[in-house]
Structure 1
């Protein structure tokens, strides 16, 4: 069982608060800001449950994105705006979950009503994420075990199962809501959900300074295909002609970025060109 070094070095009183846990995990990354609770001025924040209950709001989000893509690339194909927003939304629960699991061995609530995000400008991607519930699931040796906000599970495999289940439940609501607004099939939507979970667990390790630990966490979380997710972790090492080894993965969904420029090839990890392995 792996316990976060940051947890072992502080007192139980200090780590009982999820805010402290989020602050520690967030300090290890520079990708997206995370917090517990909303700031006093929360007008720019979007609650995930409210967004999912009004699917037409996704169309407005895509229109914002289309304006930015037009300014940058001169065009904004419908499938590209849909692919971007699909990936961006799913990154909200996936990034938060991966960060806290990797650095703290904790799983927060991922219910849509307990998550909110703020969009950046002019590129309207989520640049900050807030969890609105202070409860979390942890391991028996977590210093906060036994405190009111903590629910204890037996081991890391059980903790990974909690994360996977909570993320999948959130993703199911997204697939239902977003699927009404786009011409994507369920396989594409669930492929994007699988990508979000596998990719962010990997990147939590890479951005935190231990890429291999992130790869191992992804393997723990997705050691098999858990329907409706579309695959186990697809991470694998590859060696180039110079003998340098790096990690890569085969995506389960396409971002459709290639549609914005005639003759532009797809990503090397795209399922359109990358064989299954």
Structure 2
């Protein structure tokens, strides 16, 4: 289990032990943050409501318009890819972090989540709320005997539960996008795999065990029959002088190069292997203080 320190898991919560886990992973980094809300206030949007097939997705068109203006983009499909990449990150981050830190998997079903959008920063930002106290855990979890907890027999079963949660949620979103913009599911599933791998890499960095976190991510996305498995997502570890760093090598293009003032990401699959390695070595020669850049490395 990834642990940041030796402090015991705190399970005292007015509503759910899950709140303690989410608070812990949120404190690691804002990119992993989520909140646990039994009843979202009016400024939160339930994902199930946003995706209601009987409703007109005006919100989606408005978001794409804002993203296109923010980045000087010409194509709706590019804006949708930007939005999808950020959405996948923020929806999955707290669940993967909870799994890696406390071996707990919250429900990320669309009916159990709410979100808030902010497209005015450096990239589309999404705040995430979990609406149910339930979660899956291992038999030795301190809260395993509580009725809100689904007990998985072992770590493989818990990881499978997490994967099913991710794939079920993202399939709904990919289906929705196919009705709004012309984008094939293969590239989107590759992006989901990329995002899982990058989240795990970042959590591993934050918690001091990237090797274990990366191994967990590959066990999550490289499962027979999974729509994530065909993605060429992988990790590469490079050494430059006394600096050794592991990078997530993309299986999908995030279309970042479509922004007029930018180029391809350093790990873009549209670049040759040699060029990616050369770019990453150049990046390593500068002091980046391990700044996280889940979109553009």
TM category, shorter: 0.7 to 0.9
Q: Does 1:19 align with 2:19?
A: yes
TM-score by length of 1: 0.85
Q: How does 1:1-277 map to 2 (within 5 A)?
A: 2=1, 9-10=8-9, 17-37=17-37, 42-53=41-52, 54=55, 55-70=57-72, 75-120=73-118, 122-123=120-121, 125-231=124-230, 234-242=233-241, 244-261=243-260, 264-275=262-273
Decide whether the 8 Å contact of 2:108 with 2:169 is kept in 1: yes
Decide whether the 8 Å contact of 1:224 with 1:233 is kept in 2: no
Distance in 2 of aligned mates of 1:257 and 1:3: 32
TM-score by length of 2: 0.79
Decide whether the 8 Å contact of 1:7 with 1:104 is kept in 2: no
Decide whether the 8 Å contact of 2:2 with 2:209 is kept in 1: no
- The alignment partner of 2:128 has SS state of strand
Q: Over residues 150-186 of structure 1, what are the superposed CA-to-partner deviations in whole Å (9 max), with x where a residue is unaligned?
A: 1111111111100001110011101110111112112
Distance in 1 of aligned mates of 2:234 and 2:171: 24
Decide whether the 8 Å contact of 1:139 with 1:153 is kept in 2: yes
Decide whether the 8 Å contact of 1:13 with 1:144 is kept in 2: no
Give, in angstroms, the shift of residue 3 of structure 1.
7.4
Decide whether the 8 Å contact of 2:221 with 2:228 is kept in 1: no
For residues 274 and 248 of structure 1, do their structure 2 counterparts lie closer, same or farther at Cα, with a shift above 3 Å needed?
Answer: farther
Give, in angstroms, the shift of residue 121 of structure 1.
5.2
Out of 49-58 and 131-140, give the one that drifted further.
Answer: 49-58
Q: With CA pairs under 8 Å and 6+ residues apart, which has the higher RCO, 1 or 2?
A: 1
Decide whether the 8 Å contact of 2:22 with 2:33 is kept in 1: no
Give, in angstroms, the shift of residue 4 of structure 1.
5.2
The unaligned stretches of length 5 or more in structure 2 are 277-297
Q: Over residues 67-114 of structure 1, what are the superposed CA-to-partner deviations in whole Å (9 max), with x where a residue is unaligned?
A: 2223xxxx4543431210111122233112111111111001111011
For residues 67 and 103 of structure 1, do their structure 2 counterparts lie closer, same or farther at Cα, with a shift above 3 Å needed?
Answer: same
- The alignment partner of 1:179 has SS state of helix
Aligned-CA RMSD value = 2.8
Distance in 2 of aligned mates of 1:139 and 1:158: 9
For residues 118 and 247 of structure 1, do their structure 2 counterparts lie closer, same or farther at Cα, with a shift above 3 Å needed?
Answer: same
For residues 141 and 78 of structure 1, do their structure 2 counterparts lie closer, same or farther at Cα, with a shift above 3 Å needed?
Answer: same
Decide whether the 8 Å contact of 1:3 with 1:141 is kept in 2: no
Give, in angstroms, the shift of residue 138 of structure 1.
0.3
Distance in 2 of aligned mates of 1:219 and 1:136: 22
How many residues end up aligned between the 2 structures?
269
- The alignment partner of 2:145 has SS state of coil
